[in-house]
Chain A
Amino acid sequence: MTGDPVVRVRGMGKAFGGIKAVDDVSFDVHDGEILGVIGPNGCGKTTLFNCILGQYRPDRGRVELAGRDVSRWPPHRRANAGLARTFQLLQVFESMSVRDNLKTAAQEHIGSVGRRLFRRPDMGLGATVDPLIERFRLGHLADERAGNLSYGQQKLLDTAMAFVSRPAVLFLDEPAGGVNPTMLGDVRERIRDLNQNDGTTFAIIEHNMEFIFELAHRIVVMEQGRVLTTGTPDEVRGDPRVLQVYLGG
């Protein structure tokens, strides 16, 4: 069910002062898969995402999207090329309505800046945005100010914003973080839905092991800025090194 590598990361390295947050990390994200990225706190997962998506400038290493080297592109250009993400702390545009949040997330992928000034205000995005709002069960809040939504609702909106442009790969930083345990299944089903029905490729950082082991096709385990091992959930679960990292045994 998974295809060729769509994103290749090669030799990625980033240091803060003397601390090597990410140290020579290489891995692929295959088309159509859900890739889990796990590891203890401070092992460099989020730094790795920031390097891949352009928030940080890595000290060394390369990111390729569908064969193109995007390592020196600014974040917005990578986003428009198909690398979307969410952040660990949820990030929506609080002063805008739910619908405008999604339009903002979708509009920059269409046409040039200059032409957008003369497009109709909604740019014909209603047909894209409204079904998505329904799908994320925010229909009754479509015109509400995003800052007024509950935490869980904002989290849904956050994911919808990253998804609305139908990215090649969607990077999620702790989608289950801060989510009520009884609702975890719901988040999982939504990710699975987007993966199976829309063919969206995911790379997901997650601390909740049960959550990610049930969801992911492959898992990358990181420790102290390096890739410890990569494999299917079953392989990783049975790996004594992984248990040692987590339980400190």
Chain B
Amino acid sequence: MSATTSTTGVLEHRQDTIPERDRGHLSWPLAVAAVAATTLVVLLPLGHSQLAGIMWLWGVALVGVIGLNLWLPVESWNGIVIKWTSLAGAVAFLIVFPIGRTNATLIDLGVFVVFAIVCIGLNLTYGFAGKVSLAQAGFLGIGAYVSVLLDTGRDVAVAGFEATLPNLPFLLAIVVAGLTCMAFSVLIGFPALRVQGPWLAFVTLAFNLLVFLVLNNEVGLTEGSRGLRAIRSDLVVFDIDLFETRNYYYFCLVFLLAATVLVWWVVRSPWGRAFKALRDNPARAASLGVDIRTYTLLAFSIGAGLAGVAGALYARLIEYIEPRAFFIGQSFDFFLATVIGGLGTLVGPFIGVSFITVLTDRLRFTGDYYRVWFGLFVVVMMLVAPKGVAGSFDQLRSWLRDRRRVVPGAAPDAAPEVGPEVET
């Protein structure tokens, strides 16, 4: 900073705000290599793997993204085409792949679908609105227990009170599960107005722990660690017998598609811009009229609501729930899946959840060391692809695009003389 004294006073010339340079496209080759290497490593012991299909999907997607980029003309819409092609590819896979598979495979894939709903919600909360949440497993648990308790007509006893719970239709129970989670999310949304980043992570983690403790200790309500059975034998929705695993799988898939459409709609609506403004710079957003409190609570409640719906679906998919399934470790898995997949992208959660589903399966032999290996994998992923897999694909795409055309004035160093007026 230099100061010059003039006749009228002090002329100050500041240069203390130099914007951070974008790292650009440096990391995409590493990221693609890492994805390819992981794919190979996981694919090697093909053995029993029904989930190998997911791995093949990756390979096809990778080749597809590169191929489409080379094939499509360089226009602003080619990114949109690729985005929708990759999403449509994932959906087509989830529709076609289960045909002719065993019930065990259907349940594995069903878990993938349910977890994807959770991560799509978390992607809105964290990826778009920038509010970290490590409570998604807690919301999954609340949704699961609420739905099971409400649609089976159980006798419960809490704090000396005894009651017989209602026997609601399954669809209604799903809705109530989602709404309950939205209500709870407001509880942790208010701290989020005061704390950010790691501190918000602690708050949400504490909430998840609280949920676990209640589920584990309120034996009169939840049966504690013995868990609850929730068989599907009585479930019929719109004359479709959901006892049939295949039917139930597609039932869950409908919810996944609905969640994807919901988040897509929210993100492309004016809300999407407000969420991103909240993520990029809350103080500036507020000074431009963005109601920080409302949008923060909205971001939390949409994410939590989707986790609640996923919980209701999950309980009937596994047909048995116990508190341990909703412990904080599961929240970390959801969080890491969302980050690995690519924050703030529509296809990211699909990719991220496929990672955790496959890795959980493949690392089962490591027993208690599962999360050690998983953590190691995530660290490597974050080093080579800090923007996640989908983010790296985007970088790859812009790298290919920039090689094929010169963008006037796109980067400050590309054409500094194009920039009008004030240059420092």
Could you list which residues of chain A lie within 8 angstroms of chain B, going by C-beta atoms?
Answer: 38, 40, 53-55, 74-77, 79-80, 84-85, 87, 89-96, 100, 103-105, 107-109, 113, 116-119, 121, 123, 137-138, 140-141, 143-145, 147-156, 161-162, 165, 174, 177-181, 183, 186-187, 207-210, 213, 237, 246-247
Contact status of A80 and B289, CB under 8 A, knowing A148-B412, A150-B419: yes
| Additional 19 contacts, C-beta under 8 A, given A123-B270, A148-B412, A209-B11 | A53-B287, A75-B287, A84-B287, A91-B284, A93-B276, A93-B280, A104-B285, A105-B289, A113-B271, A147-B22, A150-B412, A151-B18, A151-B19, A156-B421, A183-B423, A187-B422, A209-B6, A209-B9, A210-B6
Query: A150–B18 Cα gap in the complex (Å)?
Result: 9
Question: Does B269 lie within 8 Å of A119, measured CB to CB?
Answer: yes
Q: Can you offer 21 A-B residue contacts whose CB atoms are under 8 A?
A: A40-B10, A55-B283, A74-B286, A76-B288, A79-B288, A87-B283, A87-B284, A89-B17, A93-B276, A94-B19, A96-B273, A104-B290, A108-B289, A113-B291, A140-B409, A147-B19, A148-B411, A150-B416, A153-B419, A179-B424, A186-B422
The residue among B5, B408, B412 with the most chain A CB atoms within 10 A of its own CB is B412
Question: Does A121 lie within 8 Å of B291, measured CB to CB?
Answer: no
B residues near A152, Cβ cutoff 8 Å: 419-424
Question: Does B423 lie within 8 Å of A79, measured CB to CB?
Answer: no
Q: Count B-side interface residues using an 8 Å CB cutoff.
A: 59
Contact status of A183 and B421, CB under 8 A, knowing A151-B18, A154-B19, A209-B8: yes
A residues near B16, Cβ cutoff 8 Å: 89, 178
Contact status of A104 and B288, CB under 8 A, knowing A93-B277, A113-B294, A140-B408: yes
Question: Does B408 lie within 8 Å of A186, measured CB to CB?
Answer: no
Contacting residues of chain B (74-101) with chain A, CB-CB under 8 angstroms? 76
Q: Interface SS of chain B: helix, strand, loop or mixed?
A: loop
Question: Does B273 lie within 8 Å of A246, measured CB to CB?
Answer: no
Contact status of A148 and B283, CB under 8 A, knowing A104-B274, A119-B269: no
Q: A53 → chain B, closest Cβ, in Å?
A: 7
Query: A79–B271 Cα gap in the complex (Å)?
Result: 18
Question: Does A94 lie within 8 Å of B280, measured CB to CB?
Answer: yes
Query: A183–B289 Cα gap in the complex (Å)?
Result: 30
Contact status of A76 and B10, CB under 8 A, knowing A91-B284, A108-B274, A153-B420: no
Contact status of A162 and B424, CB under 8 A, knowing A104-B277, A144-B410, A207-B11: no
A residues near B289, Cβ cutoff 8 Å: 76, 79-80, 105, 108-109, 165
A residues near B76, Cβ cutoff 8 Å: 143
Q: Does B13 make an interface contact (CB < 8 A)? A: yes
**Nearest residue in B to A53 (C-beta to C-beta)?**
B287
Question: Does B287 lie within 8 Å of A209, measured CB to CB?
Answer: no
Question: Does A148 lie within 8 Å of B288, measured CB to CB?
Answer: no
**Nearest residue in A to B411 (C-beta to C-beta)?**
A148
**Nearest residue in A to B409 (C-beta to C-beta)?**
A140
Question: Does B8 lie within 8 Å of A116, measured CB to CB?
Answer: no
Question: Does A150 lie within 8 Å of B423, measured CB to CB?
Answer: yes
Query: A179–B266 Cα gap in the complex (Å)?
Result: 38
Contact status of A179 and B412, CB under 8 A, knowing A55-B283, A94-B280, A107-B270: no
Q: Does B268 make an interface contact (CB < 8 A)? A: yes
Could you list which residues of chain B lie within 8 angstroms of chain A, going by C-beta atoms?
Answer: 5-6, 8-20, 22, 76, 265-266, 268-274, 276-277, 279-281, 283-295, 298, 344, 408-412, 416, 418-424
Question: Does A76 lie within 8 Å of B421, measured CB to CB?
Answer: no
The 5 A-B residue pairs with the shortest CB-CB distance in the complex, in nearest-first order:
A152-B422, A108-B289, A209-B8, A209-B9, A91-B284
Query: A121–B272 Cα gap in the complex (Å)?
Result: 9
B residues near A149, Cβ cutoff 8 Å: 412, 419
A residues near B269, Cβ cutoff 8 Å: 116-119, 121
Among A80, A117, A161, A246, the residue within 8 A (CB) of B271 is: A117
Q: A174 → chain B, closest Cβ, in Å?
A: 8
Question: Does A76 lie within 8 Å of B422, measured CB to CB?
Answer: no
Query: A54–B18 Cα gap in the complex (Å)?
Result: 27
Question: Does B424 lie within 8 Å of A180, measured CB to CB?
Answer: yes
Among B12, B266, B286, B412, the residue within 8 A (CB) of A177 is: B12
Question: Does B281 lie within 8 Å of A91, measured CB to CB?
Answer: yes
Question: Does A79 lie within 8 Å of B424, measured CB to CB?
Answer: no
Query: A95–B290 Cα gap in the complex (Å)?
Result: 17
Query: A236–B416 Cα gap in the complex (Å)?
Result: 40
Query: A180–B422 Cα gap in the complex (Å)?
Result: 6
Query: A195–B279 Cα gap in the complex (Å)?
Result: 32
Q: B299 → chain A, closest Cβ, in Å?
A: 12
Question: Does A116 lie within 8 Å of B271, measured CB to CB?
Answer: yes
**Nearest residue in A to B424 (C-beta to C-beta)?**
A151
A residues near B286, Cβ cutoff 8 Å: 54-55, 74-76, 79
Query: A111–B292 Cα gap in the complex (Å)?
Result: 16
Query: A208–B8 Cα gap in the complex (Å)?
Result: 9
Query: A89–B420 Cα gap in the complex (Å)?
Result: 20
Question: Does A151 lie within 8 Å of B287, measured CB to CB?
Answer: no
A residues near B294, Cβ cutoff 8 Å: 113
Contact status of A108 and B290, CB under 8 A, knowing A151-B18, A179-B422: yes
**Nearest residue in A to B408 (C-beta to C-beta)?**
A140
Question: Does A116 lie within 8 Å of B411, measured CB to CB?
Answer: no
A residues near B14, Cβ cutoff 8 Å: 174, 177-178
